[in-house]
Structure 1
Amino acid sequence: MDSKQKLLVIIGPTAVGKTNLSIEMAKRYNGEIISGDSMQIYRGMDIGTAKITTEEMQGIPHHLIDIKEPEENFSVAEFQQLVRAKINEIAGRGKLPIIVGGTGLYIQSVIYDYQFSDVPGDEVFRMELEERAKQIGNEALYTELQAVDPESAEQIHPNNVRRVIRALEIFHLTGKTMQDYQSKQQPDLLYDTALIGLTMDREMLYERINLRVDIMIEQGLLDEVKSLYQKGLREYQSIQAIGYKEIYDYLDGNVTWDTAVSQLKQNSRRYAKRQLTWFRNKMDVQWFDMTNVNDFAKKIAEISQYVEGKLQVKSNTY
């Protein structure tokens, strides 16, 4: 039987330090990095998504960044297909694929053997929902999904009616949310995976998130969002990202600048909390506490020891 492809996955909430760790791991294990972030795929959305810069990459190849225009949609199924192809491509070069990001559902869809086609269907119910969407509007249907399956609703844009209907259809047929249904499938890991999670003292993490927002604003976040706003981009999946929707509210004249910044920080903190909840409930993660960031070298050694034991790989001397 063929052995599984080795794969390193680094997850954790926003601002916890995934980028710095991933660069060190890529250097150490001759790796290439695949972005596991559902918003860094969009061109022209750099500051608000905390997209890694060329300088920060330190020569390490990065994939699935800047592959879509903001007006294009991006699905879990497409992400699954693209990342699995990249894993094969990177491995074919004799490199270690490293997925890094915070979008739990997307990463989960890649590393586990989920067969989306196995989820049952009900054509009559689906047609009824399609007709209701025309009559009561997309937002009302989305509100129904939020009531029965808030986790899926978090991942779906209200105007992506097809996905909203699909999630409602699964709940109608199984009495379970999309994630609950998939978890009952008990899928196997497709890869020989070292799944590392980074965590941190909650107050420290929130301070880092607030600071990150301040830095984004200094770097020109308002101008970045204005460029999208002035192009008339509005009802798109990309514009619903944290950091963009809050400033759209400001540009629309609905809130003051201070309120927009306060909401951006608050929404970012809430998102980090949801990320941690997701990872702890949905994935078998080996956690590492990054609270003592001043002792980064020691933390790197600790994580490396785990990776080498789990994947049976040796570090480079550099």
Structure 2
Amino acid sequence: MRISTLLLNHTSPSLSSLDIPTGRLKMDLLLPRRQKEKVLIVMGATGAGKSKLSIDLATRFPAEVINSDKMQMFEGLDITTNKITEAEQCGILHHMLGILSPNAEFTAANFCEVASLAVESTLSRGQLPIIVGGSNSYIEALIDDKDFIFRKRYDCCFLWVDVSMPVLHSFVSDRVDRMVQNGMVEEVRNIFDPKADYSKGIRKAIGVPEFHQYFKEEPFLDEENREKALKKAIQEIKDNTCELACRQLKKIHRLRTVKGWNIHRIDATEVFRKRGKAADEAWEKRVVVPSTTLVAEFLYNFVSMEVPSSVADIRDYIAQCLVA
């Protein structure tokens, strides 16, 4: 379901295409001329649902996604770095996924340069850039550059998908177990090097250094001790992922309270307490509807007198605005 009925029937863009597909309405046809272009930034701790929300929004607005997760910029280790799959991308054009060789050096300054080009490229096709990822230091470097060029050029809307830490930690633990089931151990084993430098490139990713000792000892262990060593490595991955989530949360709080960023908090905790259809319904109500409302306000200067109860309500209102 989309914000405008004008957008309901379209051809999804090819991942390799650089052109607007036939039938996909450009942003400049929807929006009045303005001095600043608009950019959406989706933030949150690892596992909170940032990628899922970016897809939900990009299938409701004409948009493309720009990755800002450090590790997902490297080629390889798709399971370990939790890259969004092609199927999960739902035909939405994604930028800066798997663009770097595994041992490449890539700084915040490099990110700012490449991300700025991706933003310009996206806007040139009449699409809304959605920057999404957990590397808040990269996002901060981009938004608050030395001369505040980015802010002078673009209007920014910040969405923060927040989940209570105890609830998120439980989810992250389960997610690591699913990653192991999906082949993470073998994936990391394929790049194992006993002399590897874990301070650069994709080997910095959580899930790689934790397996180092296990892979070194594995050939010399009996089955029982091998199982214990594996469980220890997996627990370290869970602990380090939870610590990462806490650091990410602290950075978002600092950007919000110290630097004064106007970051809209979307509480997704209830979603993570549910399962199956109930979780899907909670995601729609608690995350998608308020996020879509905020983005509609940001893009179309739409202010609702009543809190919408569904995306359909927002869609109908915006459709009326566009034909008014």
The residue that corresponds to 1:282 in the other structure is 255
Question: Quick one: which of 249, 254, 275 aligns to 2:213?
Answer: 249
- Structure 2 regions of 5+ residues with no counterpart? 1-32, 219-227, 272-278, 303-313, 320-324
| Residue 264 of structure 2 corresponds to residue 300 of structure 1 | no
The residue that corresponds to 2:137 in the other structure is 105
1:47-196 equivalences in 2 (<5 Å):
47-115=79-147, 188=151, 190-196=153-159
Question: Identity percentage over the alignment?
Answer: 30
- Find the aligned partners of 2:107 and 2:152 in 1 and give their Cα distance: 21
- Find the aligned partners of 1:208 and 1:43 in 2 and give their Cα distance: 26
TM-score by length of 2: 0.71
TM-score by length of 1: 0.73
Matched to 2:174, the amino acid is L
- Find the aligned partners of 2:150 and 2:37 in 1 and give their Cα distance: 17
Structure with the bigger RCO (C-alpha within 8 Å, sep 6+) is: 1
Q: Which has the higher helix share?
A: 1
Query: Cα–Cα, structure 1 residues 313 and 37, in superposed 2: closer, same or farther, change >3 Å?
Result: farther
- Find the aligned partners of 2:84 and 2:181 in 1 and give their Cα distance: 16
Matched to 2:197, the amino acid is R
The residue that corresponds to 1:291 in the other structure is 269
Deviates further, 24-33 or 187-196: 187-196
The residue that corresponds to 2:177 in the other structure is 214
Query: Cα–Cα, structure 1 residues 216 and 43, in superposed 2: closer, same or farther, change >3 Å?
Result: same
Question: Quick one: which of 190, 197, 200 aligns to 2:160?
Answer: 197
- Find the aligned partners of 2:149 and 2:78 in 1 and give their Cα distance: 37
Note the alpha carbon deviations across 1:256-305, whole angstroms, 9 max, x for none. Answer: 11111111000000100000000110242111100122212213111111
Query: Cα–Cα, structure 1 residues 289 and 103, in superposed 2: closer, same or farther, change >3 Å?
Result: same
Note the alpha carbon deviations across 1:121-150, whole angstroms, 9 max, x for none. Answer: xxxxxxxxxxxxxxxxxxxxxxxxxxxxxx
SS in 2 for 1:28: coil
The residue that corresponds to 1:5 in the other structure is 37
Query: Cα–Cα, structure 1 residues 313 and 53, in superposed 2: closer, same or farther, change >3 Å?
Result: farther
SS in 1 for 2:217: coil
Question: Quick one: which of 73, 77, 102 aligns to 1:45?
Answer: 77
Number of equivalent positions: 249
Shift of residue 237 of structure 1? 3.1
Shift of residue 37 of structure 1? 0.2
Tell me which stretches of 4 or more aligned residues in structure 1 moved more than 6 Å. Answer: 313-318
